[in-house]
């Protein structure tokens, strides 16, 4: 605990000293002689390079912040300060230094900052440490810097994922969206299971310890399994109420091969692998993913999957499920939306329990079995994969020592811990061997005791599904036809015997159509990112945009054809 003493320095400007109340030790935050010259010497040796964001650890009275802003006018500044008293003193005695910077003093404020930053424009981060401020509370500043780095890493990863998969997502959306004319959307489940426990079944190694439990509680809880665990449950004759899939890639189809379900309803994200929706023999529900966060003004912001805003304006809302990056996190949010309480985690080990990656019985085992020989068994294959990952040791379930985890598992563990702390529903960790998840109640499978309801979940599910409404696609098909005409206009402009500059002027006029611009723009995000980071000259910029429009107009036309083909194959609309 520090007491802050504001005095006048020998040079005439204010200076600040921190006094430890317990030890009377004093730490000078600024020079007693000339704080500004001291700041000039410190800032003179600082070089941020190409970094567009400078993180400053420690505010003090802001003399170093003023100089950093003056010397690096093209940078954005994020300043950490532990003490609210110091912040108040700076606002009173040097308010100018606080202009055009972001000042935060908590993890919550830091996360809010990154929720509102355009990560595509970030060219790097440089850290300036104000040593006197830092030494007063190094743990705080270390945690803030580490959290900032994790935020940047996570958001860059999200951005790169979007670059890698966004086109695939859009292609799958146009292939899958027509299912909403035949099956209900996920919103039919929202708030329909209040008072029912909800169970998320993941494919961690501890799942095998809970298989008997799942069969016993099927009439007492809503059981939602992730796609990875579906084969395992099927192998043991367990029919979950729902199976959820998100992944757009073809390999996710392997989770369903050889599985014929009698009653399990498939919940597929609209970007999911189209083959799963096409060949799954049971009932289906379509969902979509959206992210919600608050902006600087405290208003809610909804960030959807690319083009879904446009689609929902033409067919109606589907129902949002938020995701923390894995299907299990989406399952968690869906059970919350359904009204389930408590939410029970089974097989969510978030660790290599028993030095295994998954419970035996997943498709991974099917892929590994042909590799087995007298020199290599399943255990060897597991170990070889684990060794390639950045492992770490975390606290084990029931505080029973430690267990091997890794960086990715730890990100998801933090997500579940944060979510378990924030939600009103009780969260029960029933994994019996994986990682400890803070803010959850730990129970071994045999300790879980659920009471019966008047109506078993399956009865409620059947009733809801039977009365689920379907989407009308008349307006949507009409919009697609209009956009196809716009794409034909672009093709004709490209074929004209005129200069590229003249073609671009014509295409630019066509793209004034808001609908076409909204649907085409996500396909051009990579180029926009390149332009934002490298700032090419006007000629190169125009050439890049022109080429991207030509390429992506052809792709979009193909996607429209996929959508119309769905309706034609189902005899819903004429070709």
The structural domains of the chain, ordered by start, are: 2-136 (no CATH), 167-466 (3.90.1480), 473-569 (no CATH)
* Cβ atoms < 10 Å from Cβ of 482: 12
Q: Return the closest-CA partner of residue 65 out of 57, 27, 111.
A: 57
CB proximity list for 234: less than 8 A, separation 6 or greater: 259, 261
Q: How far from 431 is each of 47, 49, 210, 328, 444, CA to CA, in Å? A: 49, 47, 8, 14, 7
Instruction: Give per-residue pLDDT as tens, 387-446.
Output: 667 778 889 998 878 988 887 888 888 889 989 999 999 999 998 789 999 999 999 988
Instruction: Report residue 85 CA to chain centroid gap.
Output: 35
Alpha-carbon torsion angle 232, 238, 242, 243, nearest 10: 10
Under DSSP, is residue 392 helix (H, G, I), strand (E, B) or coil? Answer: strand
Alpha carbons 568 and 575: distance in angstroms, whole number? 6
Under DSSP, is residue 4 helix (H, G, I), strand (E, B) or coil? Answer: strand
Cβ proximity of 378 and 366 under 8 Å? no
Cβ proximity of 45 and 128 under 8 Å? no
Alpha carbons 182 and 268: distance in angstroms, whole number? 14
Structure tokens given for 462? 């059947």
Structure tokens given for 434? 């994986």
Structure tokens given for 161? 């994922």
Backbone angles phi, psi at 527, to 5 degrees: -65, -40
249 class by beta-carbon count within 10 Å (0-12 exposed, 13-18 middle, 19+ buried): exposed
Alpha helices, DSSP H only, in 236-303? 274-279
Proportion of the chain in helix, strand, coil states, percent, rounded to 5? 50, 15, 35
Consecutive 10-residue averages of pLDDT for the chain (575 residues)? 90 92 89 94 90 93 95 93 94 93 89 78 88 93 89 76 82 95 96 95 91 91 96 92 94 89 94 94 94 74 89 94 91 97 94 80 66 65 68 85 85 89 94 90 91 91 92 93 92 88 87 90 80 76 84 91 85 57
pTM to 2 decimals? 0.79
192 class by beta-carbon count within 10 Å (0-12 exposed, 13-18 middle, 19+ buried): middle
Alpha carbons 491 and 485: distance in angstroms, whole number? 10
Under DSSP, is residue 104 helix (H, G, I), strand (E, B) or coil? Answer: strand
Alpha-carbon torsion angle 210, 360, 239, 337, nearest 10: 70
pLDDT at site 369: 60
Structure tokens given for 81? 């300060």
Q: Return the closest-CA partner of residue 79 out of 34, 52, 110, 45.
A: 110
Instruction: Please count the CA atoms within 13 angstroms of the CA of 503 that sit on its side-chain side.
Output: 18
Alpha carbons 50 and 124: distance in angstroms, whole number? 7
Alpha carbons 166 and 59: distance in angstroms, whole number? 40
Instruction: Report residue 180 CA to chain centroid gap.
Output: 25
- The DSSP symbol for 293 reads E
pLDDT at site 367: 63
Cβ proximity of 294 and 300 under 8 Å? yes
pLDDT at site 373: 66
Alpha carbons 165 and 184: distance in angstroms, whole number? 26
Alpha carbons 490 and 203: distance in angstroms, whole number? 48
């Amino acid at each position: 605990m520090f007491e802050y003493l504001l005095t006048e320095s020998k040079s005439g400007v204010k200076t600040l000293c921190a006094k430890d109340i317990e030890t009377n030790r004093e730490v000078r935050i600024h020079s007693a002689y000339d704080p500004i010259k001291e700041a000039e010497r410190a800032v003179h040796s600082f070089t941020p390079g190409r970094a567009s964001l400078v993180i400053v650890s420690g505010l003090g009275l802001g003399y170093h912040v003023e100089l950093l802003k003056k010397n690096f006018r093209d940078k954005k500044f994020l300043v950490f300060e532990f003490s609210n008293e110091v912040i108040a003193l700076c606002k009173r005695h040097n308010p100018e230094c606080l202009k055009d910077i972001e000042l935060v003093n908590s993890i919550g404020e830091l996360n809010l900052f990154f929720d509102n930053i355009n990560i595509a424009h970030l060219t790097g981060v440089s850290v300036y440490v104000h040593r006197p401020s830092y030494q007063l509370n190094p743990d705080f500043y270390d945690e803030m810097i580490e959290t900032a780095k994790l935020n940047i890493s996570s958001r860059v990863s999200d951005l790169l994922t979007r670059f890698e998969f966004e086109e695939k997502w859009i292609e799958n959306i146009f292939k899958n969206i027509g299912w909403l004319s035949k099956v209900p959307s996920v919103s039919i489940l929202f708030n329909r299971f209040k008072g029912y426990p909800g169970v998320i079944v993941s494919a961690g190694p501890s799942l095998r310890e809970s298989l008997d439990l799942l069969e016993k509680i099927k009439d007492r809880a809503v059981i939602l399994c992730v796609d990875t665990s579906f084969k395992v449950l099927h192998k043991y004759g367990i029919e979950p109420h729902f199976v959820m899939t998100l992944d757009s890639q073809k390999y996710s189809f392997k989770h369903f091969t050889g599985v014929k379900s009698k009653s399990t309803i498939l919940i597929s994200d609209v970007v999911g692998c189209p083959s799963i929706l096409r060949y799954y023999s049971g009932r289906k529900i379509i969902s979509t993913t959206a992210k919600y966060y608050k902006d600087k003004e405290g208003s809610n912001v909804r960030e959807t999957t690319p083009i879904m805003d446009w689609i929902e304006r033409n067919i109606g809302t589907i129902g949002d499920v938020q995701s923390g990056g894995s299907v299990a996190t989406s399952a968690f949010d869906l059970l919350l939306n359904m009204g389930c309480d408590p939410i029970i985690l089974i097989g969510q080990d978030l660790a290599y329990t028993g030095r295994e990656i998954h419970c035996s019985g997943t498709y991974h085992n099917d892929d590994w079995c042909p590799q087995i020989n007298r020199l290599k068994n399943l255990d060897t294959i597991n170990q070889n994969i684990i060794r390639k990952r950045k492992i770490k040791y975390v606290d084990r379930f029931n505080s029973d020592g430690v267990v091997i985890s890794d960086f990715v598992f730890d990100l998801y563990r933090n997500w579940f811990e944060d979510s378990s702390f924030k939600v009103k529903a009780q969260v029960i960790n029933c994994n019996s061997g994986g990682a400890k998840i803070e803010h959850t109640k730990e129970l071994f499978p045999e300790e879980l005791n659920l009471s019966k309801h008047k109506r078993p979940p399956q009865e409620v599910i059947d009733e809801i599904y039977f009365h689920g409404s379907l989407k009308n696609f008349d307006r949507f098909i009409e919009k697609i036809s209009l956009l196809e005409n716009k794409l034909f206009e672009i093709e004709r402009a490209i074929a004209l015997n005129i200069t590229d500059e003249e073609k671009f002027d014509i295409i630019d006029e066509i793209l004034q159509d808001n609908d076409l611009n909204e649907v085409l723009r996500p396909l051009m995000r990579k180029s926009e990112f390149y332009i934002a980071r490298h700032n090419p000259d006007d000629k190169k910029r125009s050439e890049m945009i022109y080429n991207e429009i030509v390429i992506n107009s052809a792709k979009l036309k193909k996607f429209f054809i996929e959508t119309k083909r769905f309706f034609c194959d189902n005899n819903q609309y004429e070709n």
